[in-house]
Structure formats: structure tokens, C-alpha cells
Amino acid sequence: MMDADMLVLHLNSIQEVIQNEGDLNFGGLLGKIEVLCRELDVPVGVKEVGWGIDGGTAKKLVDAGVSFIDTAGAGGTSWSQVEKFRSADPVKRAAAEAFSDWGIPTADSLRSVRTQVGQPVIASGGLRTGLDAAKALALGADLAGFGRSILREATESTEAVLRVLQTRELELRIAMFGIGARNLDALKNTPHLTVR
């Protein structure tokens, strides 16, 4: 009906628990994803919502037919914290606090996923600059995603979003220039990456 180019499924179990209106029916989810991938005519991707995906889970998703993975690792927006602030339930608010730093950091998630799957991988979760994007690409991401770091501009205007994205692009290009990477393939294969 929407003439969509793809479908992205969000894995957000912790968020659903904290939400007052949350849906906790995650039973048989992998099988449901497999059916969806088989029946849809567009690629289906899976995205975490701030807690990262591990390589083993990514492999199961790809084996089920998922076309791409968005790591959305810890370090960006924590959706359990968003739901904490939305909730009027003091018990859920207190429980949500225990998960404020829950999850796999984006870089760790990206490295884990990349070792298990050959499908496209998007790195998101805490990326704030073009330098962050350069690091993610050097670690093996095919794309880098920005969320919260462009949210303010998204509430202002299309021009404001374009301006901040031009800045991110320039930061990425400066990082590439700084290490002598002529293109994205050279960045992805740089010997100048130090993993700590």
C-alpha cells in the first residue's frame, strides 16, 4: 500500500517491557521473521534500538532471510530510558533505571556482526560525527546511521538537516584525507585502525 522500498523490523524487547502499552508477544519471533522475509517482495532488515546485536543473533536473522542488519548499539538513545520518562508507573520507572547502560556498544556489536554475516551492516547507536562514521566504516560497516545527533535539526527544517549532514560528510572526508584513504574501499581496508 505504501510502495515501500524495504521493511525494517525493530528488536525492542526491553522497551516493550517498560512501555505501558508494550507488546510482550515475542514468542516464535525468528520463525515469524522468516515467513515475512519469504513472503515480502522487498528486502527485510532488522534493527536494534540502542542495545546492539551480537554476531550469533545476526547469523540467525540472516539465515532466516534478513537482508541487512542495523547494529544500533549501546551508546546512543536508550529506549528503555525514553520509556522511563514517558511512564507514570513508579515501579516501571525504577526498573528502567537498571537498564540505563544496558547493551553491546556499537563498535563491539559491529565487529561481532561483521564476523558472522556477509550481508550489509549499518552501524548506528551513538554516532555523532563524520569521524564516528569513518571509524564505523573502517570497522566493517557498509553504512553509518545518525539519529539523536540530528534530531534538533530535524525539528527545525530540511535545510538544517542538510547542513548538519554536509558537516558530517566533510568530517568523514577529512578523516579519510588524514589517513590517505582515497575512497570508501580504502577506508574499509585501512591499516591505520587501532581497536582498543
3-state SS class at 143: strand
pLDDT of the residue at 23: 86
| Tens digit of each residue's pLDDT (9 = 90 or more) over 157-172 | 999 999 999 999 999 9
pLDDT of the residue at 12: 86
pTM of the model: 0.90
Is the pLDDT at 17 greater than 90? The verdict is: no
Are the beta carbons of 167 and 133 closer than 8 angstroms? no
Are the beta carbons of 146 and 161 closer than 8 angstroms? no
List the grid coordinates of 154: 530535524
| Tens digit of each residue's pLDDT (9 = 90 or more) over 29-79 | 999 999 999 999 999 999 988 899 999 999 999 999 999 999 999 988 888
Are the beta carbons of 80 and 100 closer than 8 angstroms? yes
Query: Residues of the chain with pLDDT > 90: what percent?
Result: 69
| Kind and range of the H or E run holding 45 | strand 44-48
List the grid coordinates of 175: 578523516
Cβ-Cβ contacts under 8 Å for 55 (sequence gap 6 or more): 112, 113, 114, 115, 116, 117
User: What one-character-per-residue DSSP string does 80-139 give?
Assistant: HHHHHHH---HHHHHHHHTTTT-S-BHHHHHHHHHHH--S-EEE-SS--SHHHHHHHHHT
Are the beta carbons of 133 and 143 closer than 8 angstroms? no
Compute the Cα dihedral for 92, 81, 15, 63 and give only its sign. negative
Comparing CA positions, the residue from 143, 117, 156, 120 lying closest to residue 45 is 120
Compute the Cα dihedral for 109, 115, 117, 120 and give only its sign. positive
List the grid coordinates of 101: 547502560
Are the beta carbons of 36 and 86 closer than 8 angstroms? no
Amino acid at the residue 82 = V
